[in-house]
Structure 1
Amino acid sequence: MAPSRPLPQLTVVNAPFWAGCREHRLRLPRCRDCGLVWFPIYERCTRCTSTNLEWIDASGRGVLWGWIEMHKGYIPWFADKLPYNVALIRLDEGPMIYSNIIDARFEDLRADLPVEVVFDDIDDTISLPQFRILPS
């Protein structure tokens, strides 16, 4: 039997994010009191601790801030995907998100490379945000 893919745990707190991903929309919480947009998802603003938040549709664009290339399969599902990259993206809205850059060679990655979100539809409930390099 093939190893199963690790999937996010859906909670009441992160449900709007994952529902947005399923609709191919990158949704993020924004504080109605101080305006901060943040990720990962928390119940309270990470700046002022307000619970007065709203969900916004993010642009889905950002820049590659940092990355590594994985050569060891610590999680069995990834063993036949080696090597793969793990990327840290600074979204245009400010927060950072870990993901992958798809369809790119490791040697093509560089700091501040413009990227945009794409979604990998895993099943009927989960779509994972990944990123691709924007054409120049």
Structure 2
Amino acid sequence: MIAPHAEWPYQGKPVHVVSSTLDPAADPRVTVHRTLDEAVAALDAAGYARVYLDGGATVRQLLARGRVQTLTLSRVPVLIGEGFSLFGPLPADVPLEHVSTEVLGGGMVQTTYRVRESSRPATT
């Protein structure tokens, strides 16, 4: 999705992608992992404490594992007639604590929440 951009938006930042179809050698700026477990192990081994996650299924799986501490939701002012659930089913409710809300250009709204510590299951 980001490969066609003329200017690389992640200059100086490591990019890890979970994909069963991308060629790992297609772009030297991107590290491709075949499974989420593989990606998590690589990020843990590299010592990363904070990472940017994208993709509802990925976020859902890591929420369920207790690996998400902060969640930023961006809402665009468009109602979709028949959409998908933001993350899909979770094994339990995830209590959140509001941190901040910011109104951006075009009516977009970004809200940041902290995942309450008591709701995080033990990490795996």
> TM-score when scaled to structure 2?
0.28
Structure number with the higher helix fraction is 2
Structure number with the higher strand fraction is 1
> TM-score when scaled to structure 1?
0.26
